């Protein structure tokens, strides 16, 4: 995964093994940053990496 890559919600759900509505809740609550391009929602790969790192930090 490249830092400049933009992921779809479906790709994020597969990588995190979470449901679609859970991912949208993370986006809505701004825990997972995203961008909207037209009508498409995209999550920067770097934002996903940071989210995972933050969650791992909370779990420790």
On whether the pTM is more than 0.85, the answer is yes
- What band does 2 get if pLDDT is binned at 50, 70 and 90? confident
CATH code for 6-59?
Answer: 1.10.1660
Instruction: Give me the residue spans of the domains in the chain.
Output: 6-59
- What band does 1 get if pLDDT is binned at 50, 70 and 90? confident
Rounded Cα–Cα distance for residues 60 and 55 (Å) = 9
Q: Summarize pLDDT for 19-38 with one digit per residue, the tens.
A: 999 999 999 999 999 999 99
**Alpha-carbon separation of residue 54 from 14, 31, 37 (angstroms):** 19, 10, 26
Q: Summarize pLDDT for 47-59 with one digit per residue, the tens.
A: 999 999 999 998 8
């Amino acid at each position: 995964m490249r830092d400049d890559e933009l992921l779809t919600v479906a790709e994020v759900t597969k990588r995190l093994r979470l449901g679609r509505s859970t991912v949208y809740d993370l986006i809505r609550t701004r825990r997972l940053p995203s961008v909207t391009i037209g009508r498409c929602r995209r999550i920067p790969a770097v934002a996903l990496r940071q989210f995972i790192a933050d969650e791992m930090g909370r779990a420790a």
